[in-house]
């Protein structure tokens, strides 16, 4: 599998320095873990509160900014055979929310950003945690496995 990554950093922070190669590795590890074999492309935008708020309100009806929004591609799977890389969709990650949550959860900003990147990528691939407790447990378990492969601890452990 080969991944094509489009990265847009509209919001940057000295507390969270993002490297394209690291982001690509996280997405590739996530896709590989769930068995994706075809070439894929993904768009990732790192945004501020205002942009996240606007998109969250428009697409989810929620009047606030949020950590990650996932916009899966609506291209039918059967089109993959005609493309060099199948577009799986776009992620919009609100850096100020990720930084605030990392502080609140006593995590390093990069650790929480990586979790949100894995989480959002799984959403693009059809995983859901809002439909049922079983789906949430399955998704969390997969996230824990992927993050362990990347050298990160279980993000769902309680901190003192």
Question: What per-residue confidence (pLDDT) applies to 105?
Answer: 94
**DSSP 8-state assignment for residue 114:** H
Per the annotation, binding residues are 119, 123, 129
pLDDT at 80 exceeding the cut of 80: no
Nearest to 159 by CA among 100, 115, 120, 104: 104
Question: In this prediction, what percent of the chain has a pLDDT beyond 70?
Answer: 98
pLDDT at 24 exceeding the cut of 80: yes
Angle at 38 between CA 140 and CA 88, to 5 degrees: 55
**DSSP 8-state assignment for residue 160:** -
Residues 6+ apart with CB under 8 A from 136: 129, 130
Per the annotation, binding residues for Zn(2+) are 119, 123, 129
The answer to whether residues 113 and 66 touch, using CB atoms and an 8 Å cutoff, is no
pLDDT at 85 exceeding the cut of 70: yes
Split at pLDDT 50, 70, 90, the class of 38 is confident
Question: What confidence tens digit (pLDDT) does each residue in 135-156 have?
Answer: 889 999 999 999 999 999 999 9
**DSSP 8-state assignment for residue 130:** S
Alpha-helical (H) ranges within 61-160 are 95-104, 109-124, 133-149
Q: Is the dihedral of CA 7, 46, 145, 86 positive or negative?
A: negative
β pairing state of 86-94 and 68-72? antiparallel
pLDDT at 50 exceeding the cut of 70: yes
Alpha carbon distance 77, 114 (integer Å): 27
Secondary-structure class of domain 1-148 per CATH: alpha beta
Question: What's the whole-number mean pLDDT along residues 54-68?
Answer: 98
**DSSP 8-state assignment for residue 82:** G
Split at pLDDT 50, 70, 90, the class of 77 is confident
Question: What's the whole-number mean pLDDT along residues 85-108?
Answer: 96
Specify which residues 9 forms β-bridges with: 46
Where are the extended beta strands (E) located within 1-158? 3-9, 40-47, 68-72, 86-94
Question: What per-residue confidence (pLDDT) applies to 157?
Answer: 86
- Lowest average pLDDT, out of 13-22, 62-71, 129-138, 148-157, goes to 129-138
Question: What per-residue confidence (pLDDT) applies to 160?
Answer: 55
Angle at 144 between CA 156 and CA 52, to 5 degrees: 70
Alpha carbon distance 33, 13 (integer Å): 30
Question: What per-residue confidence (pLDDT) applies to 23?
Answer: 98
């Amino acid at each position: 599998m080969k991944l094509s990554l489009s990265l847009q950093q509209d919001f940057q922070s000295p507390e969270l320095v993002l490297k394209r190669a690291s982001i690509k590795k996280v997405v590739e590890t996530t896709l590989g873990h769930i068995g994706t074999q075809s070439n894929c492309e993904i768009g990732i935008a790192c945004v501020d509160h205002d942009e996240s708020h606007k998109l969250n309100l428009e697409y989810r009806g929620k009047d606030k900014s949020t950590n990650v929004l996932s916009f899966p591609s609506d291209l039918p799977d059967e089109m993959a055979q005609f493309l060099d890389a199948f577009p799986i969709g776009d992620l919009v990650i609100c850096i100020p929310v990720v930084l605030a949550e990392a502080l609140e959860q006593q995590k390093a900003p990069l650790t929480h950003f990586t979790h949100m990147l894995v989480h959002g990528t799984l959403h693009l691939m059809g995983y859901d945690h809002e439909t049922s407790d079983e789906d949430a447990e399955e998704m969390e378990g997969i996230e824990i496995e992927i993050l362990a492969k990347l050298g990160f601890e279980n993000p769902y452990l309680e901190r003192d």
